[in-house]
Chain A
Amino acid sequence: MTTFASVLAEHYCYAADRPAIYLQIAGQPDRVITYSDLVCGAAGFASLLEQQGIRAGEVVVIILQHGEPLVYAFWGAILHGAVPAILPPLTEKLLPARYRADLAALIRVTRPRAIVTYPRFAGEVAYAVRVAAEPATAIIEFAEPIMRAPDFGALGGLRRRSDDHVLLQHSSGSTGLQKGVALSHRAVFNQLDAYAPSIGLTHDDVIVSWLPLYHDMGLIASFVMPVLQRVPLVLMSPFDWVRAPARLMQAIARYRGTLTWLPNFAYNFCATRIRERELEGVDLSSLRAVINCSEPIYHSSHQRFVQRFRSCGLRPEALATCYAMAENTFAVTQSVIGAEVSRNEGGGIGHSGQVSSGRPLANVCIRILSEERRDLSEGEIGEIALRSNCMLSEYYHRPDATAQAFFEGFYLTGDLGYMLNGELYVTGRKKDLIIVGGKNIYPQDLEALASEVEGVHPGRVAAFGVFSEEAGTEEVVIVAEAESEDLSERARIAEAVRAYVTQNSDVAVRRVVMVDRHWLVKTSSGKVARGANKAKYLSEFLG
């Protein structure tokens, strides 16, 4: 029976000295982690879980920054047989109190047996555990790797079954953190069995990534898949990349990288934020595929990227697309690698010029459903539903959310799209969801926060995303009804809303607009209608 731990044990026996991960940290020499190091570091961490009395099948939340401890904690939890869930650490702009509140809410739902974090953050975590009143949650401080030869006979990970949970994935925000996507060993291996051939993955590939591991594209495509499939991975910190995006290109050139996954905004970001001198001697001709995934895909972003990096040897046919979600482990569709990505040429079906996300993977069946859940035909836009052998087992401890997510065995994605010539085109979202830089943001979280600001009429707030051509992603706009008509007072309230929402959600708010009472459009049931208010905002303020 194949499990994560059995594959690791195999690599330890037959590929001990091969590099698994080239870990990059700004200002330090690259650290090569071989499979031997990976397993010994993981076994060392597993011994900490053993000391704490943590048993196989129990959830271990990992809150660590990029670095060796994060790598060893994840694979150590796996070797121990525990179920790891990686969460983002506190950032400098997020208020600690809000972080604690969200973490406490997650602890109450997930009831993890342990939370692993770095020593200086342990106090915050302890506070959240007290707030959540879950005293059974142990706090493990982990800063220095412990290397220990594995005793496979004693490690609980080797006794896990294919259908057992192997990991949890969460999305961000107060809403997303309370829905942990639970995946089984079998689901992840089924995903890799379908996805690896669709990208022609071999041991000669080199994957380069700056993506965070608390996101499916980072965790599955750019961490779990390379380690399990024995494909070398060059891993850098998202925080290092965002301050110096050239690091990605330099790493690809240095390690002859062949594959990288990026959200759409990163194409624009790399095309405009890299200095010429940073590309001196940088050769990108090794790249087989740069795969656009996790937020709406724009042809203009691909064009900018090709124009900027063609002189570095980037081949235009390396640009590829993918549609993915944590609930299907990762990929649902993939464009053909090495071929130009299809675009809708018009002719009355769907949106002309739109970029295809590719064909469904061999193990995925897609349906496009109408509002009445009737199957729609080619070119008709409806909700994308899917069934595969790599879907989530459940939302962890959330039978209510799990039941709601399915229809006739198909997972309802909440995304809208259509099929054309066997390929999927994603057009938008049924659920109100804002995607900024590949991060899912629930507008209700932002609206609730804005309503807490003094001077805002509570409940009379709409948050939505507006696509920016320049940024290649959505930007967050909040429209709120003011209790004051004084313009300078309104400017002050708008500033307070921006600061408060940002510090409590970690979401940068591009614009806050204060409007008169009764400006916002409401639905017949009295809810703020986000779509209608977005249209009204666009016509009144940007028209």
Chain B
Amino acid sequence: MGDDIIRSLAGYIATEILKNPQRVIRPDEKLISSGLIDSFHLVDLGLFVEERFGVRLDDSELNADTFDTLEQLAALVAARRA
């Protein structure tokens, strides 16, 4: 199930945020601290997670301390859904 979440998040980030569907995002690749996702797109990611997985991320959680990789974000989503 975790892999499905990661795939879905990776697809969204590559297509909608980076506008490059071919871009492969590794599960352990740094997303926020690397500047791959900038602050303007974090709120988009929060909206996507809420719509796709029915899980709310508080805006205080949209930072590299809470999650900085697909793995970490997927774990957060999975934990909230459980």
Within the complex, what minimum Cβ distance (angstroms) separates B34 from chain A? 6
Chain A residues near B32: list those with CB within 8 A.
92-93
Q: Are B40 and A244 in contact (CB under 8 A)?
A: no
Q: Does B3 count as interface, using CB distance less than 8 angstroms? A: no
Q: Are A508 and B35 in contact (CB under 8 A)?
A: yes
Say which residue of B34, B39, B47 sits within 8 Å of A275 (CB atoms): B47
Restricting to B33-52, which residues have a CB under 8 Å from any CB of A? Answer: 33-36, 38-40, 42-44, 46-47, 50
**12 CB-based A-B contacts, threshold 8 Å:** A27-B60, A239-B39, A243-B39, A243-B60, A243-B62, A245-B43, A275-B50, A499-B35, A499-B36, A502-B38, A503-B35, A508-B38
**Given the interface contacts A26-B59, A92-B64, A510-B19, does A243 sit within 8 Å of B35 by beta carbon?**
no
Q: Mark B15-29, 1 if CB is under 8 A from A, else 0.
A: 000010000000000
Q: Are A273 and B35 in contact (CB under 8 A)?
A: no
Q: Does B63 count as interface, using CB distance less than 8 angstroms? A: yes
Q: Are A502 and B43 in contact (CB under 8 A)?
A: no
Kindly report which residue of chain B lies nearest to residue A471, judged by CB atoms: B40
Within the complex, what minimum Cβ distance (angstroms) separates B31 from chain A? 10
Q: Does A437 count as interface, using CB distance less than 8 angstroms? A: yes
- Report Cα–Cα, A193/B76, bound state, in Å: 53
Interface residues of B (CB under 8 A from A): 19, 32-36, 38-40, 42-44, 46-47, 50, 59-60, 62-64
- Report Cα–Cα, A415/B18, bound state, in Å: 31
Within the complex, what minimum Cβ distance (angstroms) separates A240 from chain B? 7
Q: Are B63 and A26 in contact (CB under 8 A)?
A: no
- Report Cα–Cα, A244/B60, bound state, in Å: 9
Say which residue of A26, A242, A503, A510 sits within 8 Å of B34 (CB atoms): A503
- Report Cα–Cα, A503/B36, bound state, in Å: 10
Interface residues of A (CB under 8 A from B): 26-27, 92-93, 239-240, 242-245, 269, 273, 275, 437, 471, 498-499, 502-503, 508, 510-511
Q: Are A243 and B38 in contact (CB under 8 A)?
A: no
Chain A residues near B47: list those with CB within 8 A.
273, 275
Chain B residues near A275: list those with CB within 8 A.
47, 50
Kindly report which residue of chain A lies nearest to residue B64, judged by CB atoms: A92
Chain A residues near B43: list those with CB within 8 A.
242-245, 273
Kindly report which residue of chain A lies nearest to residue B23, judged by CB atoms: A495
Kindly report which residue of chain A lies nearest to residue B35, judged by CB atoms: A502
Q: Are B38 and A93 in contact (CB under 8 A)?
A: yes
Chain B residues near A508: list those with CB within 8 A.
35, 38, 40
Kindly report which residue of chain B lies nearest to residue A94, judged by CB atoms: B35
Within the complex, what minimum Cβ distance (angstroms) separates B32 from chain A? 6
- Report Cα–Cα, A502/B36, bound state, in Å: 8
- Report Cα–Cα, A275/B43, bound state, in Å: 11
Q: Are A93 and B35 in contact (CB under 8 A)?
A: yes
**Given the interface contacts A26-B59, A92-B64, A273-B47, does A437 sit within 8 Å of B36 by beta carbon?**
no
- Report Cα–Cα, A26/B60, bound state, in Å: 7
Kindly report which residue of chain B lies nearest to residue A273, judged by CB atoms: B43
Chain A residues near B38: list those with CB within 8 A.
93, 502, 508
Chain A residues near B62: list those with CB within 8 A.
243
* Residue among A92, A503, A510 having the largest count of chain B Cβ atoms under 10 Å: A92
Chain A residues near B40: list those with CB within 8 A.
242, 269, 437, 471, 508
Q: Are B63 and A92 in contact (CB under 8 A)?
A: yes
9 new A-B contacts, CB < 8 A, other than A242-B43, A502-B34, are A242-B42, A243-B39, A243-B59, A243-B63, A273-B47, A437-B40, A508-B40, A510-B19, A511-B19
**Given the interface contacts A269-B40, A273-B44, A275-B47, does A240 sit within 8 Å of B59 by beta carbon?**
yes
Q: Are B34 and A499 in contact (CB under 8 A)?
A: yes
Interchain residue pairs A-B with the least CB separation, the first 4: A502-B35, A244-B59, A508-B38, A93-B35
Chain A residues near B44: list those with CB within 8 A.
273
- Report Cα–Cα, A499/B23, bound state, in Å: 14
Within the complex, what minimum Cβ distance (angstroms) separates A234 from chain B? 18
Chain B residues near A27: list those with CB within 8 A.
60
**Given the interface contacts A243-B39, A269-B40, A510-B19, does A93 sit within 8 Å of B33 by beta carbon?**
yes
Kindly report which residue of chain A lies nearest to residue B61, judged by CB atoms: A243
Chain A residues near B59: list those with CB within 8 A.
26, 240, 243-244
Within the complex, what minimum Cβ distance (angstroms) separates B49 from chain A? 13
* Residue among B34, B36, B40, B47 having the largest count of chain A Cβ atoms under 10 Å: B40
Chain A residues near B42: list those with CB within 8 A.
242-243
Within the complex, what minimum Cβ distance (angstroms) separates A512 from chain B? 10
Chain A residues near B39: list those with CB within 8 A.
239, 242-243
Chain A residues near B35: list those with CB within 8 A.
93, 498-499, 502-503, 508
Chain B residues near A471: list those with CB within 8 A.
40
- Report Cα–Cα, A26/B59, bound state, in Å: 9
Chain B residues near A245: list those with CB within 8 A.
43
- Report Cα–Cα, A100/B47, bound state, in Å: 35
- Report Cα–Cα, A245/B39, bound state, in Å: 12
